Chains A and B, each alone.
Chain A
């Protein structure tokens, strides 16, 4: 019926020279088919891409569980000598999930940061704040020294030399009155004034603009 079709040419589609359009049509059937077929394909692709992507980036948003681990009676610790204690950072992967805390009793003569219930015992993380290698404590020099790139920290864990960008991280500690044991909690980061921040990765300074350049993560939080 070519003649009849000619009669019903829509002025909206006349310039596109499309047959079969009817009066008042603003979206042609061909265009509608294009859009709906592409939309169906996009929905189908998103249906497997988005869950897979969420699955891959999910760990960024899931929070690490906190635990308090008993490391020994309060009599283990003195004010002048660091004691090495093994703490479990991640459960279930054996040796790879363990780390070392250097622990001593808080000494009001040198520890100038405000005292509270969580720092009666000082527990320094052995993770170097340059790029995360394990530091060791050298008693004769009273310094923490990193084997990788020469980072040096003083007795309080503050940077004494080398590339580290902030003092050594610390662990929350508490004395469990019921058992009489010292317990080590989650890790936290400190800036040069030893102000507490939620745990950051090594290499991220927390002084001045640093605390804004390296925001707190969803996976960890300050106690």
Chain B
């Protein structure tokens, strides 16, 4: 495997040449100390090769702002993950009133609570919008074609899981709107023939919306689906890095004029 050349060190990290008569200076400068620490980790993990593989890769000519929609979706997910973890510190999945009260506490009383909850609530919509824009970019640029079909399939699974996050998260404030929206959503699930009724029972943890429905939705929302999303994002990014980014459809491979003429000649002769 050809070795990727190491990027040049930034100026601040370059060790200054030692001046004559400067032997009394510090044995090691802060920059050298930093390099030593990084080297110590790299010697044991070989992470730098992987990082260079991930970050310093060739991209085709003609890429543009549309190619940033995937990273934008990733950062929307990271924002949801971080704000969600901190909302979970205050939230109580208690259907007898505790859930609504804890959301009221976050919104009205907790320091920056309204802001963090707002980030999570509006960020959810932003993530859905970005994921569809990203999907549209991939579709209209033809980037789902060979050899990137598996990346597309994983991406569609991520889209479905994100919609599951939206569905399960909607119940958690436990006000009238989220309660009835969940009733309607679960009943839409139930209209699937043969397995629909059992799927509804699974989602509700019983034949009626009961004591365990809220905690079940909470567990799916903050443990089950996020873990699956993180794993699939890893697979998605691995494939993107391994297969490279596709060029926009209007960029054509450069062909030597002579070879085109030769090809035309060959074709007319036959």
Contact = CB atoms under 8 A, between A and B. Distances in A.
A59 B198 CA distance: 10
B207 A220 contact: yes
Interface string A192-223: 00000001111110000000011101111000
Interface stretch (B128-136, B180-188, B226-234): B180-188
A95 to B, nearest CB: 8
B97 interface: yes
Contact of A96 (B95, B193, B200, B207): B95
Contact of B196 (A93, A204, A218): A204
B228 to A, nearest CB: 15
Given A64-B208, A96-B209, A214-B196, A202 B190 contact: yes
A56 B207 CA distance: 14
Nearest to A64: B207
B214 to A, nearest CB: 9
Given A90-B209, A203-B190, A59 B202 contact: yes
A60 B95 CA distance: 20
Nearest to B179: A96
Interface residues of B, number: 30
Contact of A59 (B95, B191, B212): B212
A72 to B, nearest CB: 23
B187 A93 contact: no
A57 interface: yes
A201 B193 contact: no
Interface string A81-117: 0000000011011101100000000000000000000
A74 interface: no
Contacts of B196: 201, 204, 214
B111 interface: no
Interface string A127-159: 000011110000000000000100000000000
A59 B208 CA distance: 11
B198 A60 contact: yes
A179 interface: no
B76 to A, nearest CB: 29
B211 A215 contact: no
B123 interface: no
A94 B97 contact: yes
Contacts of A60: 198, 201-202
B183 A133 contact: yes
**A: contact size bracket:** 20 to 34
A75 interface: no
B206 interface: yes
Given A93-B95, A96-B179, A131-B184, A214 B197 contact: yes
Contacts of B205: 59
A17 interface: no
A42 to B, nearest CB: 21
B211 A132 contact: no
A131 B187 contact: yes
B268 interface: no
A203 B199 CA distance: 14
Contacts of A200: 197
A148 B185 CA distance: 13
Nearest to B99: A96
Contact of A93 (B96, B190, B201): B96
B182 to A, nearest CB: 10
B65 interface: no
Contacts of A56: 202
Interface of A: 56-57, 59-60, 62, 64, 89-90, 92-94, 96-97, 131-134, 148, 199-204, 213-215, 217-220
12 contacts: A59-B205, A64-B208, A92-B96, A93-B96, A93-B210, A133-B180, A134-B180, A199-B207, A201-B196, A202-B187, A219-B206, A219-B207
Interface of B: 95-97, 174, 179-180, 183-184, 186-188, 190-191, 193-194, 196-198, 200-202, 204-212
Given A59-B204, A97-B209, A215-B197, 16 more contacts: A90-B208, A90-B211, A92-B211, A96-B95, A131-B187, A131-B188, A201-B190, A202-B190, A203-B190, A203-B191, A204-B191, A214-B194, A214-B196, A214-B197, A215-B194, A217-B198
